[in-house]
Amino acid sequence: MIRMTNLWPAPVAASPIIHTVAIPGSKSMTNRAYILASLAEGESTITGALRSRDTDLMEGALAAMGVKFAHEGDSIRVTPGELSGAEVDCGLAGTVMRFVPPVAAFAQGPVLFDGDAYARKRPMSTILDALRQLGVAVAGETLPFTVHGRGHAEGGEVAIDASGSSQFVSGLLLAAARFDRGVTVVNTAGILPSMPHIEMTLAMLKDAGVHVEAIGQRWRVDPQPIKATHFAIEPDLSNATPFLAAAAVTGGRVRVPHWPLNTTQPGDVIRMILERMGCHVELYADGKDYTLEVQGPEPGGLRGLRLDMSDIGELTPTVAALAALATTETELTGIAHLRGHETDRLAALTREINNLGGDCEELPDGLRIRPATLHGGTWASYDDHRMATAGAILGLVVEGVEVENIGTTAKTLPGFEVMWDEMVRS
């Protein structure tokens, strides 16, 4: 049931946005670092970590099982300990509900997982059945479920259908080195969405000294130590995309400092997308660092595009908002798996864009968005952080847009609405 309370009047940009915004750390990297540090042989440190609902839920889950976290300014010390039974609140965090169950296999006792109401609808059988194949006792098929940890787990080879989420593969690989026989993961589906997130997992495992043999869609990890290390977290590039979109839709200029020159984050692809839609995009050296600058086109210059987003599905709400304001048709494909995200994002985007007078058609694996004149109205967020930011983008140039529950952005970017207001006023 959609709640139309806590409506936030999206601020309209009276002139082109000119702004520089610093983006906090990557949620995806932060939560992977938390898992690896919790399973390592010794104390690790993490700098630049994101503090948000999703990362707090991850820290809370691991702390409940016995991992110690010490926050000292921008640094976090993570000290592993003997894992114990616990109760874990997953909220709506996919990384918690899919990364933590393999860790729970090494707890001494049962670990009960539950979460928000919608989280109970998210697909979980892939990771739970995989754990059973690896010798772990699991009760349940969706949230709530219980992993009955015995302090160790056998491991071996497991075949899974990971077409619903790359998180199933990452969750198994992050803990694989701790299994008695290691773990070999084989994706039987042929389709694997968000491959950059797998590459991120592999890169961070390498940083922790874990060797992974990867051949096609088969990954093998032998039993080996996970080394204590230092993880430096990059800015969250996906969280940067709404601010860059603000330049695109207002004909303005937005800069994001500390943009990584080389990264596994799928959010980096926004550079190519904005160029194809008519923006001028430049990544330039700024001392020892790099800054990304996006200059939006003149009014009427924002173009639609055809794009396979199978590897970059998390950018879909931002790109769909841009497409709703473009002067030519857009077709986004390869994103059927978004029906299993925080909400059914394909249905939600179609409903909300059309509610504002847009022309959005849901496809079997994506969206087709045609030019239309938008008007004000209520934009439902479905408790989905990226739906909320998509509504804010449209509200920059469409008067009278009210976004329901803008506070849901705290899932990955606490204070978003304050940052957004500061940008519009700058």
Question: Could you give phi then psi for residue 23, rounded to 5 degrees?
Answer: -105, 130
> For the chain, where do the domains classified as CATH 3.65.10.10 start and end?
7-24+234-425, 27-222
266: Cα within 13 Å, side-chain hemisphere: 19
Q: 3.90.1530.10, 3.40.50.300, 1.10.1530.10, 3.65.10.10: which CATH number matches 27-222?
A: 3.65.10.10
**34: pLDDT strictly greater than 70:** yes
Q: pLDDT tier at 5 (50, 70, 90 boundaries)?
A: low
So what's the pLDDT on residue 122? 85
pTM comes to: 0.92
What would the pLDDT profile of 188-245 be if each residue is shown by its tens digit? 998 888 899 999 999 999 999 999 999 999 999 999 999 999 999 999 999 999 999 9
Cα(184)–Cα(178) distance, rounded to whole angstroms?
Answer: 12
Catalytic residue among 234, 293, 314, 352: 314
**2: pLDDT strictly greater than 90:** no
Share of the chain above pLDDT 70, in %: 99
* Contacts for 31 with CB less than 8 Å, ≥ 6 apart: 54, 55, 58, 93, 95, 96, 99
Q: Where are the strands (E) in 90-160, listed by range? A: 108-114, 137-139, 145-150, 156-160
Contact indicator for 102, 177 with CB cutoff of 8 Å:
no
Across the range 384-391, mean pLDDT stands at: 97
Q: pLDDT tier at 426 (50, 70, 90 boundaries)?
A: confident
More confident residue, 63 or 192: 63
Q: pLDDT tier at 3 (50, 70, 90 boundaries)?
A: very low
- From the list 332, 324, 309, 326, the residue with the least C-alpha distance to 391 is 324
Binding-site sequence positions: 27-28, 32, 94, 122, 165-167, 194, 314, 341, 345, 386, 411
* Contacts for 342 with CB less than 8 Å, ≥ 6 apart: 92, 94, 118, 382, 383, 384, 385, 386, 387, 411
Cis, peptide link before residue 144, omega less than 30° from 0: yes
Cα(208)–Cα(406) distance, rounded to whole angstroms?
Answer: 37
More confident residue, 194 or 63: 63
Across the range 266-271, mean pLDDT stands at: 97
So what's the pLDDT on residue 191? 87
Cα(320)–Cα(338) distance, rounded to whole angstroms?
Answer: 13
**274: pLDDT strictly greater than 90:** yes
Q: What is the mean pLDDT of the chain?
A: 96
Binding-site sequence positions for 3-phosphoshikimate: 27-28, 32, 165-167, 194, 314, 341
Binding-site sequence positions for phosphoenolpyruvate: 27, 94, 122, 167, 345, 386, 411
Cα(422)–Cα(426) distance, rounded to whole angstroms?
Answer: 6
- Quote the CATH superfamily of domain 7-24+234-425: Enolpyruvate transferase domain (3.65.10.10)
**9: pLDDT strictly greater than 60:** yes
So what's the pLDDT on residue 340? 83
Q: Which two tokens mark 263?
A: 């990264």
Cα(155)–Cα(322) distance, rounded to whole angstroms?
Answer: 45
Q: Determine whether 199 is an active site residue.
A: no
So what's the pLDDT on residue 1? 36
Burial class (CB in 10 A: 0-12, 13-18, 19+), 261: exposed
Q: Can you list the alpha helix ranges (DSSP code H) found in 120-250?
A: 125-133, 167-176, 195-207, 237-250
What would the pLDDT profile of 87-131 be if each residue is shown by its tens digit? 999 999 999 999 999 999 999 999 999 999 989 988 899 999 999
Q: Kindly give the pairing relationship between strand 44-47 and strand 230-232.
A: parallel
